[in-house]
Structure 1
């Protein structure tokens, strides 16, 4: 760390308020150029005792340690606050890097130049504050007129530095104050290009894409796009995000090279495969046929799953005694389904498999009821109850899938205003502010990475509905689970009645294996349906019991319970999960969740959780840290 070590103070507060270690310009000349080094806090000297006499300190040392009275004494004695030290660093630089807000105020009142360049990298105090991630200091300097468009000795402006050092809160504030997300540095590179080229990891790239950064811009020297930059750096995460955002794989730089050509040059087989695969998918997606497939992908995936389950059941139920023939047919069906799946476009179809397979299972259960069980003449009561059950199941499932779970939305102006208000109030905190959505998070809200949105009172992202379960559709999901458990019970009842009526079951004579063999030979289809119903009844029953326990006895969502449990384990605490402000007691919890009124016996409060914000920065209960 070179010359910076002689100025070092306690490293424990290096990244917050209080005494943070001051670093000499020599450190910045290394740190700024590499972009990926970190401070070794363990090598910092221990914090000086408060009993140390500061009356003999020079003004630089007093500034680094935040001794306001000593600084005032020296300034009143004639020291020029504009005068840089022998390393060409001003007092304002030292105050900014150590987050000394009182000294900043005092020095500027005494004539310090807020944008004075200094240090080995020829940076302003604002640059130094940004590199350290001191958001309060950035806010203070900009209030005093610091210009974020000034470039340092490496050509980086304020927003570029915030991205390079991965201080997303600082970057959000700078953009809210009017800094263009695609503003170039002195080398003609946008923040997105720097993130793709110099930072391994998805966070900065994803953050900029979410804030409408251009994926098609080019630098002024090599005419490289952000995707070129990501490929040159071997940054697979950034390349994937850029491709998902629509970055062109055919864009040429000044040498006529596309990102695929660059991937070959840097000898990265993974990136070559990724880029070629995306290129082929985009070529295929231009066909009218695939556009239709994408438009009706849910219905097509449902038909595919229905055909698969029906084919398997029909083959197993064949009258043929040759199990070899059945095995060959099953292999053919599996091969055809696999071939069809491979030709369907990507992850969007894959994510639909659990949900569509569930609905296909329900479809064949209903078919089985009407073709196998109904001819045996069940009572009218049984028929009515089954009809009500299947109607409730389909209704609640569709409502759980189609209802907005509680996505927290805001306009661009509202987002900027939220950033400014929270930052200047000292509340730009991941528990309160989501840097992915750029919004103030309501209480009990979580950011869902699958939906890429903040969801009010989010419980979880369900693969069975292919969507989030939150404040507005959670009760539909619970009722769907209950209906599915009842559906499994009806199928058990129907199978048992059918086997008793149509199959010669003699457990005492045949034994367990004999009964199983009889069931297989009697109706293999029904055995498949029974096993399918058993599977769905088991998982839905377990999830239902867990959900009802959390709702009734804890008053918590799954996300809150997991967060609170993790927090307790981390702190080695054993407090009861029932001790939380959202637990109103079993009856009131259930009445509030299902909005039960019971002829006026209950008066549950209807709360719009998308608009419930914490009253203060320290009053967020569960301390989520889901910033992306």
Structure 2
């Protein structure tokens, strides 16, 4: 039986035909008013003949009529209501009063001739709708199935029906309201005595089972609030967690687990929800949620299959990868003596499986804190300090036709070293290796040495400029190391009890989704925060992950990062200026006969090639730092972060309200935190203005009044030992 969504649009259709209100084969039409949507589904071809005294079902080569699926209420002899999104069709019975039926047809098979007026149901007055609901002879179960609240209310209050009455399928009205997600009807039934754990249907399932199977999180939440038991099993031996996994609903599964249902609940075949997620493969996120919530990945069912066996045999390699990365054993044998790998027959799958296992083994060997990981990090840190002077020597001692090919060879060997050594242990290992950060540190170290022992020594008359340069170098280095070692605003983790409380609160508010909850960290995500996949932490006011600082840039170190950029650019420009003055004081001498530059350049290369190479590299760094500083300045003035600039369409609070339900690419940008260039800049540097003391750890939505003051700033959050700090109430 087809089911109709709450959002189904009904139309009042007035029929106008000279042949006893007859709707013939290809003669059915409607007026093409501009507020209409097609009345026709693409699924079937249907024709219905309506007579004054009888109902006739017509069935031929092109047309069929079927059983009830979506409501049509006939007002009188020539007026009915059509459901524009019906999924099947029925005959309409007319007894000179009112009747009920359902209709669909193929678009091209119905033409606008006999229907002269269509009025959207949504434009009808509420009183008219109530009147129609009340005057039609609905049964309680029909009304509950279709979400007709007034009809349900009338039937219950007039004692024409009882909330616990069963229909011919042994189902209660609450079952039908639950499966169709009619919350208002379900609330009314529960208030008037509907048994929340009543079993019904062929599977003897409860309303909670029906809602879980359909993925209706709000309905499940409502039923649980009325003491529904999610651990009850149906005739198949499935509880609500099994059914939510069958449907591929990760957030619903997360909510049910938070209620205390065992994440490793067993069905009659001793299969866990994770095994079902691996077998069905309809939601990788479902499998990840179960793993993150503590599912035992090495359990076996009655056939001795593990979750990995089921993922492999059903060819869901993405789920298999997640299971292996979670630490699953891949050598467990089933009752036939086969491991999961032994079940692979497809060569392509074998190659992929071998790569997954190989990557997993490497990730274990190079796990953070292991000897090999520590060794790689030390190598990554020292490499720039070793190679930097090597490049300077090659550049200074050899002619260009030797030095350039040799430097390219060294670059190739360096990339090979990075790929085969430093990147071992996983795709994120390069981001967690300090080699990129060390490039800046090595550059700063050797340029400072060059500046102190060459430039200052040979240009003592520029002492004021030297003081400025040294001051800027100090500020830049200090800001850099603050970014390197300071907490960017990592959000504290929760205990199991606090986590479950947060999940249930979000579910009750209908905002249990990836935008508001991080499954990896098991925390509620404050507004403007993001989970960093490299650091594996959620960061408040997240800007970006910076490999140069070997850390995330967030609320607590963003100003230091921008200070580092500004001072690096200004200091670099001053050093470059001193460098030019120094070079201008060098005498012109005869350069190498192979030098292709002008006489002065060739002369400088002969006398001080190391300073020349340092200044050239410095100029490159000034360019990229300057570009990044300009971008940061613009974003600060506009009041948004790098992450928000790149992904604004993913965040409802950064799009216009009327665009929230549109596809991402159609959403228009709107920033409620933009108060103009001056105010935005003052706030960034002074933390004063419209949100002076806002604690970004506890802000989950855009405050209605952005002048709102919140007790405690980030300093309070840093100093608190409360593990549930992000749940503090905003005052």
TM-score range, shorter chain: 0.7 to 0.9
1:191-590 paired onto structure 2 within 5 Å: 191-199=273-281, 202-215=284-297, 217-263=298-344, 268-278=349-359, 280-281=361-362, 284=365, 291-295=370-374, 297-318=376-397, 320-321=398-399, 323-324=401-402, 327-328=405-406, 330-331=408-409, 334-335=412-413, 338-339=416-417, 341-344=419-422, 345-346=424-425, 347=427, 349-351=429-431, 352=433, 353-378=435-460, 379-412=462-495, 413-428=497-512, 430-502=514-586, 504=588, 523-551=608-636, 553-564=637-648, 567=655, 580-581=672-673, 583=675, 586=678, 588-590=679-681
The worse-fitting range, judged by mean Cα deviation, of 435-444 and 560-569 is: 560-569
Offset, 1:477: 0.7
- Structure-to-structure mapping, 1:596-607, within 5 angstroms: 605-607=692-694
Between the aligned partners of 2:67 and 2:191, the Cα distance in structure 1 is: 25
| C-alpha deviation, 1:399, in angstroms | 1.0
**Structure 1 residue 493, shift from structure 2 partner:** 2.3
Q: 1:140 aligns with which of 184, 199, 222?
A: 222
Change in Cα spacing, 1:317 to 1:65, as seen in structure 2 (3 Å) is same
Deviation at 1:520, TM superposition (A): 5.4
C-alpha deviation, 1:340, in angstroms: 6.2
Matched, 1:114 2:196: yes
Query: Is contact 1:10–1:48 with CA below 8 Å preserved after alignment?
Result: no
Q: Which has the higher helix share?
A: 1
Residue equivalent to 2:23: none
1:151 is aligned, of 233, 249, 266, to: 233
What is the deviation of 1:472? 0.7
Distance in 1 separating the partners of 2:475 and 2:589: 34
Deviation string 1:140-199 (CA, Å, 9 cap, x unpaired) is: 212333221223455432123223434333223212211222323333222233333322
In the aligned structure 2, how far is the partner of 1:305 from the partner of 1:200?
46
Which residue in the other structure is 1:594 paired with?
A: 685
TM-score between the two structures when normalised by the length of structure 2: 0.69
Structure 2 residues without counterparts, runs of 5 or longer? 11-65, 70-83, 89-102, 105-119, 707-731
Q: Which residue of 2 aligns with 1:64?
A: 145
Q: Look up the match of 1:16.
A: none
| CA offsets 1:238-270 (integer angstroms, 9 cap, x no match) | 333333333333344444434444446775144
Structure 2 vs 1, CA of residues 110 and 414 (structure 1 numbering), >3 Å: closer, same or farther? closer
For the 8 Å contact 1:68–1:103, the answer to whether it is kept is yes
* Inter-partner Cα distance in structure 2 for 1:576 and 1:110: 45
> 1:223 Cα deviation (Å)?
2.9
Q: Is the 8 A contact 1:4 1:25 kept in 2?
A: no
Partner of 1:92: 174
Task: Give the CA deviation at 1:396.
Answer: 1.1
Instruction: Give the Å deviation of 1:479.
Output: 1.0
Alpha carbons of 1:239 and 1:519: their partners in 2 closer, same or farther (altered >3 Å)? Answer: farther
Instruction: Find 1:176's aligned residue among 249, 258, 268.
Output: 258
- In structure 2, the CA distance between the partners of 1:532 and 1:228, relative to structure 1 (3 Å rule), is farther
Q: Give CA-to-partner distance per residue, 1:438-463, whole Å, 9 cap, x none.
A: 33333332333433333211122223
Cα 1:256–1:196 change in 2 (3 A) is same
Determine if contact 1:201/1:235 at 8 Å carries over to the other structure. no
Size of the alignment, in residue pairs?
Answer: 580
Higher-Rg structure is 2
Residue aligning to 1:610: 697
CA displacement at 1:407 relative to structure 2:
1.7
Residue 528 (structure 1) shift: 3.6
Determine if contact 2:248/2:283 at 8 Å carries over to the other structure: no
Query: Which fold has the larger relative contact order, with Cα–Cα distance below 8 Å and residues 6 or more apart in sequence?
Result: 1
Give the equivalent residue in structure 1 for 2:58: none
CA distance in 1, matches of 2:411, 2:191: 80
**More deviation in 123-132 or 232-241?**
232-241
State the 1:83 CA deviation. 4.7
Find the residue that maps to 1:605 and give its secondary structure. Answer: coil
Q: Secondary structure at the match of 1:609?
A: coil
Unaligned residue ranges in structure 1 (runs of 5+): 14-23, 28-39, 620-628
Q: Write out per-residue CA displacement over residues 23-65 of structure 1, whole angstroms, 9 at most, x where no aligned residue.
A: x9999xxxxxxxxxxxx97857799676673422333321122
Alignment TM-score, normalising by the size of structure 1: 0.79
Distance 1:501 1:573, change over 3 A: same
